[in-house]
Structure 1
Amino acid sequence: MANIFGTDEDDSIPGTPTSDRIRALDGDDTVLGEGGDDTLEGNQGLDLLLGGDGADSLLGGADNDTLVGNNGRDLAFGGVGDDCIRGGLGNDNLLGEDGNDTLFGDAGDDLVSGNKGFDIVTGGTGNDSIRGGEDDDSLFGNADDDYLYGDTGKDSLSGDRGSDQLFGDDGEDFLTGGDGEDSLFGGADNDILNGDFGNDQIFGGKGNDTAFGGNSSDTIQGNEGNDSLFGNEDNDFIFGGKGNDTIDGGFGDDSLSGGLGDDSILGSFGNDNLLGAENNDTLFGGEGTDTLTGGSGSDFFVLGAGAGSLSIITDYDDAQDFIGLPSNLSFGDLQVQQGNGLNRRDTIVSIGGKILAIFVDNPSSLITVDDFVDTGISPTPTPTPTPTPTPTPTPTPTPTPTPTPSSTPTPTPTPTPTPTPSSTPTPTPTPTSASASTATPTPTPTPTPTSTATPTPTPTTSRLVPPPQISPPATLPLSGISDLELLWPMPGQTPGIGISPLIPNPSSNPPSLWP
């Protein structure tokens, strides 16, 4: 192995075809590893380290450095300063260390960590493991199946393509799964989680979280805190967990459960199953044929008045529960009567021949005006809000710069003569009062209201039995990360996580990939 040293000037130092150790010393240096397994040390100054072929080790040192691994399985440490690090081909290990760093794994299965500072970390192609470290970081998985771990700080994590695993950990984080079947874990604090496309599994963790399922069949669990959970499209499983949660199934046939706390559950559109579980809950089926079960506590069942709204209430307790009417109805508009035939044990509530609700195993004599409350709620549910926009798109990696030859010494500059004192400037006249006058601000235009979704067709009025509960999807194993032992020890396999929307508090702690 050749040992090559630079000077304290700005050097351009090429390596040899074999394995070299090149130390640049001070100055703004360009170091080329060439062939072999090289060790390149930048030291002081703004350095450019190019690894070349082989498995190279690049050490940036102080100041703002650029490190490019190129071919082979490379190891790069940015050191102090705001560094730009690119892995190149091969399975690389990149560490930003101190400073606000930009790291790009490029091709291969890479392990990339920003460490301290406000970092931008991108995996590139391959199955990458990405860690933000301290402070507020932006993490992007890009292609394939990636593992993103925000660590501390307010982090933005975007899985992009592939089936990704995202862990926000501490801080108020923003997680977006992107394409593929993703697993999102908010961790501590108040997080925003967006599954986006694919059948995703979303866990809020501690804190008051906001979660959006996206465009497919998703499983969402709020866990602790007062959470806001939205299924959006397709058939979703949503479980609130602890805390006073707000749950909106959106479109599709959803299974919604509040868990502990005083929860508000809205089925919205589709044939939904709503379960309040414990405490005092509010249940509103919305459009479609919905099954409402309050559970224990004093529950509030809101009836829909749309053309396709029918609520089947399975456990109404006249002693402690109440019935809510939308803003366009009053008790005088209703017909309350005992059912007949298969519904002879049920109470039927209708208006103009259209059935609004069936109270299972409840005599009509117990359903009186005292049970009804005017809610002021719109007769049709409001569509699910659009989630917060996704984080800033993946930055384009800096292209590999061309090495520069040794710089020519700068000649000693000629001393500048002492300037002649300038005369006192004439005072600038006072500007007109146009900026000081109070201008009437232009009012912000009122946003156009969202159009109401088309209601589903009116159901038949024959005996309606609550539809069977939909079984939750099978447990999703979380793939482990191997062959990344160079910087940190890796576990062989991350434990799988069982999902059930009706069983609270799953194991949602991320595996320890970094000590």
Structure 2
Amino acid sequence: MTDIYAPTSHDSINLVELELYHLLMNYRATEGLAAVPLSVGLSATAGRHAVDTHDNIWAQNVTLPEGANLHSWSDAYYYSDHRDPTVMWDAPSRIGSSYTDSGYEISAAGFATIEAALSGWQGSPGHNSVIMNEGSWSSATWNAIGVGVIQSDDPSLEYNGRIYHVWFGQQTDPSGVPIIEGTTGDDDFVATSFADIIQADLGNDTIDAGAGDDMIDGGSGSDSMDGGAGDDTVTYENAASGAMRLSLGGTAGVGGQSDGDVLTNIEHAIGSNFADTIIGSTLANTLNGLGGADLIFGNDGADTIDGGDGDDALVGGGGADNLIGGAGIDTARYAGSAAVTINLATNTATGGEAEGDTFSGIENLVGSQNADILTGDANANRFEGLGGDDVFQGGLGADTMIGHLGIDTADYSDSASAIEVGIHRTGVGGTADGDVLIYMERIIGSAFGDDLVGGGTAPIIEGAGGNDTIIDYGGAATIMGGDGDDTINAGTGADSIDGGAGIDTVRYANTSAVQIDLAAGTGSGFAAEGDIFVNVENVVGSNAGDTLTGDDQANRLEGLYGEDTIKGGLGNDVLLGGGNADTFVFDAAGFGRDLILDWQDNYDKIDLRGSGLTHASFTEVDTAQGVRLDYFNGVSTDAIHLFGASLSPSDIDSSDFLV
């Protein structure tokens, strides 16, 4: 016995039943009647009724009561005098199908072929009127149909085991259409003019889906699938193994279940649970990779691409595409595009193939060969700029930014707090936290006090706002401190250093002797060789014998160790020689009121040789910090204030001066 209140293998439509359906529709068309869509509920009803007739009545040798006919079920008899029509009408809902309205059935038995069964109905006025909406059925409009056929050709059974049930209904089935199933052989499918679900099996099948928005599963074998009119989808979600390469452009598939498949007039594709390559057409495609690390190309058209599970790479191509990464670490790629501007945080994109694109679940971006602007979100993003002068703004999250060719920029101007970041090191703080920069030529800091490390492959460093510390590890760097009191640790190479606003300092502590002239804006010697300066107020020299020269601003010049020569120039300067015997040069009147904070009596010298002054030109004033040497230049009083513990005017004599 077969349970007809549970799904059976005949709930779907097989190819024989599909052929009978076409015969019925073609017959209706001879009178100009419209085709009727297959119903999943009525197909289940027809299929289970055929199974019930064959398995539960004929195979069990059940004798029906007198007057009962083929419309009978094993548990509900239908009589020729129609004494209880609800046995027929209510059958779809009684067996639990999705069809909730009344159903009307025509049946035949014993005919050897479906053509013979149709001929039998055509010769019966009562049956023919149902098919053709004639007589008492003229006011009915059929909006649903189901077909059930069993041809067991078993001579031991009544009617040789051949039963044909067709159900009609006026309600459109809210649950849609049934699955049309193939066989293990090489099948020819000709689907309906409505939306169909086609499930082929083994064999090299030929599928003509016809009109309607169809769903096609070619199964195994080298299949030819033509979606026909409508928005059609091919699916490989049931593939058992193997990654595949699938194209909607008519090129034969390679690998997995798609091997040898040729797709025509198919707009959408669903991949397998393996690592697939799916290539769309020039139309608006919907492409779903399902599982596996998929590579999906949308080509032209406004595509919707869903990578599904796995670490997928999505290439939307032309058109305003909707790129959905799904689970995994997913990448949107624009390698073949003109320049793009993409912001994952705001879900916006402009330029080139990115124009109008939207994103969901995308963690990584690969830009074009042109000048791109790529902005991340709060996730850990990975950006690759390829060619062009690209700008990266990673946002929150531990981001990896790879510039490749061009002058590429890591921009942290959006950070809400100070950062520490540089080439080949992991960033700390703000939007730089956890970031790694590779092949990055330019770094822009935040509005706060940052620690920025550049040089080498990152020769351009911009501190922006805040009191920044900038370290140049070598190469011809361009360093801009921006606003704030910045400290710039210069490296080797001919650097261009602009301190910007604020009181800015350039340091050469880790090099051999240097010569720095802020008035001329130039440097020479070891790490300072070829350096040029703008808006730099202070200098810290090396541990060797440096020559440091200020400008007409208030400078702080610090020699560290070594026998340094330090000239403040105009302005009220702060001078420090550091260890060893240092020389402080005052070669013109109007040198301001300078402080020498670490005067070492009997070691350090005051060089007046270019000024025409001598020791006698100064008035010595004893102060709490040391001795101040005052000189009236005719307009104002210049001063050299020597700071030293227990230093007094008597300690200062002509031996402390070079004249």
Pick closer, same or farther for the CA change 1:188–1:238 going to 2, 3 Å.
same
> Distance in 1 between the 2:449 and 2:336 partners?
37
C-alpha displacement at 1:62, in angstroms?
12
2:313 to 59, 64, 84: 59
Is residue 7 from structure 1 mapped to residue 248 from structure 2 by the alignment?
yes
C-alpha displacement at 1:359, in angstroms?
4.0
**1:406 alignment counterpart:** none
Q: Which residue identity is paired with 2:629?
A: I
**2:542 alignment counterpart:** 259
C-alpha displacement at 1:309, in angstroms?
3.0
Aligned pairs, number: 357
Q: Which residue identity is paired with 2:631?
A: S
Q: Which residue identity is paired with 1:75?
A: D
> Distance in 1 between the 2:617 and 2:274 partners?
91
**1:32 alignment counterpart:** 286
Equivalence map 1:58-457=2 (5 Å): 58-60=312-314, 69-70=323-324, 75-76=330-331, 78=333, 81-82=336-337, 87=344, 88=347, 92-96=362-366, 99-100=369-370, 102=372, 104-114=374-384, 116-118=386-388, 120-123=390-393, 125-127=395-397, 129-139=399-409, 140-141=411-412, 143-144=414-415, 173-188=441-456, 191-225=459-493, 231-234=499-502, 238-241=506-509, 242-243=511-512, 244=514, 246=516, 256-260=539-543, 262-264=546-548, 266=550, 269-270=553-554, 272=556, 274-278=558-562, 280-284=564-568, 286-288=570-572, 290-293=574-577, 295-296=579-580, 299-302=583-586, 309-312=593-596, 314-315=598-599, 323=607, 330-331=612-613, 335-340=617-622, 346=627, 348-352=629-633, 354-360=637-643, 363-368=652-657, 371=658
C-alpha displacement at 1:204, in angstroms?
0.8
Contact residue 268 and residue 287 of structure 1 kept, 8 A:
yes
2:641 is paired with a residue of what secondary structure? strand
> Distance in 2 between the 1:142 and 1:34 partners?
37
Root mean square deviation, CA, Å:
5.3
Contact residue 272 and residue 289 of structure 2 kept, 8 A:
yes
Q: Deviations over 1:250-277 (max 9, x none)?
A: 999x874212453535386457463343
> Distance in 2 between the 1:168 and 1:205 partners?
15
1:331 is paired with a residue of what secondary structure? coil
> Distance in 2 between the 1:86 and 1:11 partners?
35
Tell me which structure has the larger Cα radius of gyration.
2
C-alpha displacement at 1:205, in angstroms?
1.0
2:461 is paired with a residue of what secondary structure? strand
Q: Deviations over 1:78-136 (max 9, x none)?
A: 38534757644667432528844746344332423216433624336534624234221
Identical positions, percent: 14
Q: Deviations over 1:262-294 (max 9, x none)?
A: 353538645746334335443426533524325
> Distance in 1 between the 2:379 and 2:628 partners?
62
2:488 is paired with a residue of what secondary structure? strand
Q: Which residue identity is paired with 1:259?
A: S
C-alpha displacement at 1:357, in angstroms?
1.0
Contact residue 99 and residue 117 of structure 1 kept, 8 A:
yes
> Distance in 1 between the 2:265 and 2:561 partners?
71
Gaps of 5+ in 2: 1-216, 218-234, 238-245, 251-263, 348-358, 425-429, 519-532
Q: Which residue identity is paired with 1:335?
A: S
2:279 is paired with a residue of what secondary structure? coil
Contact residue 100 and residue 119 of structure 1 kept, 8 A:
yes
Q: Deviations over 1:285-344 (max 9, x none)?
A: 653352432544664534786596323263368778563688xx642798234444758x
Pick closer, same or farther for the CA change 1:332–1:119 going to 2, 3 Å.
closer
> Distance in 1 between the 2:248 and 2:590 partners?
81
Comparing 60-69 and 85-94, the one that deviates more: 60-69
Contact residue 402 and residue 438 of structure 2 kept, 8 A:
no
Contact residue 455 and residue 477 of structure 2 kept, 8 A:
no
> Distance in 1 between the 2:397 and 2:507 partners?
31
> Distance in 1 between the 2:314 and 2:307 partners?
18
Gaps of 5+ in 1: 152-160, 373-515
Contact residue 187 and residue 204 of structure 1 kept, 8 A:
yes
Q: Which residue identity is paired with 1:356?
A: A
**1:41 alignment counterpart:** 295
> Distance in 1 between the 2:485 and 2:369 partners?
41
